[in-house]
Structure 1
Amino acid sequence: MSRPLHVLRPALLVLLVLLALPVVSAQGVTDANSAEACEQAEPIISDVGTNAEASPFEEFICTIAAALHIREPLNDSPTDNTSEWVVLGYGTLLLLAVLTWIIVLFARITPRRMLRLKPESKIAEVAGGQTATYALTLTNRRKRRPATIELSVSRPPKGWSASLSVDKELPSGFKELVGEGDALRVFLSARKNLAHKAHIVLAVRPPTGADPEEWAELDVIAVPFHKENPLTKKAKEVRVVTLVREGVAHTAIRDVRHNPEVFRPGDEVTTTVVIGNTGETDNEDVRIKLNVNGEDVDERETDVPAGGEEEVDFHWTAPEGKARVRVALA
């Protein structure tokens, strides 16, 4: 897999600087005539070995010398100029080859930071049977290429449930390809387009009646989907922790009805009280009192489930005169 061109530009700049160093270090001079520069390099090559014909590599060195317009250095000693040019030419080429190999290798093994998976929070605390939700933002950081992302969540403990979904209420520029569940796939456009983010929701639910000391640790994993080469996947993970706390019940009287609605002294009256629980856990042994004209007439007990309601009936006889009826939780 090749790296984008803008990533390799600094490396190419370094190579060009290193390629220009022989001109300075050799204290040579430039010549507008490249053919003359190559002729100056020919005696250097012929002195490297025997009088045999120049090899392709030696011709390559001559070509580089001609391209750089390098002349034979001005040296008074006829015995040192050849070795100086040979060491300079071969050493520079070897250094450039090694540096190029290192840069290419680094570019291939360095992971692409094409994804960012950022949660709003990593810890939530809920009662047993309630749902903890985590909001995550998935971003495609590539500027020119869209990405198809596979999202999944690790397996929750026994009795727990976990699912991923796309938040339909938030603006997004993605297309959901797979529905809600423990895994889904989304499509993100390129970054320069406004539609390069997706808002993901993870829902974690502990079992009803879970011990307050229980907890679960789950991983949300985002992997670029490459149909042509699965080995090029670069995963991004976020770990969230869900704690179970003791639930709280919120019980209140929702409605009071009398039958008959209008009664006379001595009439048998039935008062129905509706009690609701909006809390996170069941409320047991809830006591309700009926008071008529300041006196307690009756008291009942009932259990109200979490998120549910119960009806309690009181039967009493209407007194003489005006009856002021009051119902309250004990």
Structure 2
Amino acid sequence: MKAAIDVGTNSVRLLVAERSAQGLKPVLKQVRIVRLGQGVDAAGRLSPGAIERTLAALAELKALIPPGIPVSAFATSAVRDAQNGQEFARLVEERLGFPLEILSGSREAELSFAGAVLSVGHLGLPEPIAVVDVGGGSTEILTGTAQGELLGGGSSQVGAVRMLERFITSHPLLQDEQRALEEEVRRILAPLVEQVRAYGPRTLIAVGGTATCLAAIMQNLAEYSDAKVTGVRFSLAELKEAYGRLSRLSLEERRGIQGMQAGREDVIISGAAILVQAAQLLGFSALYVSAWDLLHATLALPVDGGS
């Protein structure tokens, strides 16, 4: 068994899994919403409060890892963007005893793609495949084949927490703020989408907390399950309907929706806006969802993922 920890902009996640000739078998998965990236877009630094919240959550997750299990830990957008990101990484190693690798945007995109295609290979989806990972601070889109060959793509500085902080002041969402949010998302995503479309992707898979939470809401799941959201297909029209419905609700009303992850009721709107715009810009009328992403790839791949 091995463990992987993802220190994201909105959440920290733990996956413990076994790797064998039959593939990767997840044993334990835990998520904590910490909002590490709170204020990073404006201030350029991780705040002391966010750092302490995250370190406390990481200590909780570490306590769940079976003794003697090797741990791979990595950080994404908030830490790589923050001026004090390296200081935070040193704190993690000092307090928790494992190094924290700060992933580049391109490496994050590669791992998200690898995790997604691992989970849906049995579906025989048309290729090339584009994988979109809507994160808290950035969005990655990469195109490749089901066998893991990478064709092209990368990372863009548009994320659910980043856009929430820039544009949204009210819940329900104000129409003027919605228009401004969507215009900015399109503007920032456009160059990356142009790169990806050059490879002619025929299938779109969405990964990340926004995608899996929306999949749980759209299926009205009483209890979340990775298995119940992985491989599910939704039309763009269904996705836009869910986005519109959620945007018209207060935070309290969103909290009462079956399938809503606690702590995601504010950021789900900006995340959904990014996912809708990405699908539209890429020219897809439907997309698949996968709960498998860079965590799974880190544990499954023989290179950069260990054995």
TM normalised by structure 2 equals 0.21
Q: Which has the larger radius of gyration?
A: 1
Determine which structure has greater relative contact order: mean sequence separation of CA pairs < 8 Å that are 6+ residues apart, divided by chain length.
2
Structure number with higher helix proportion: 2
Structure number with higher strand proportion: 1
TM normalised by structure 1 equals 0.20
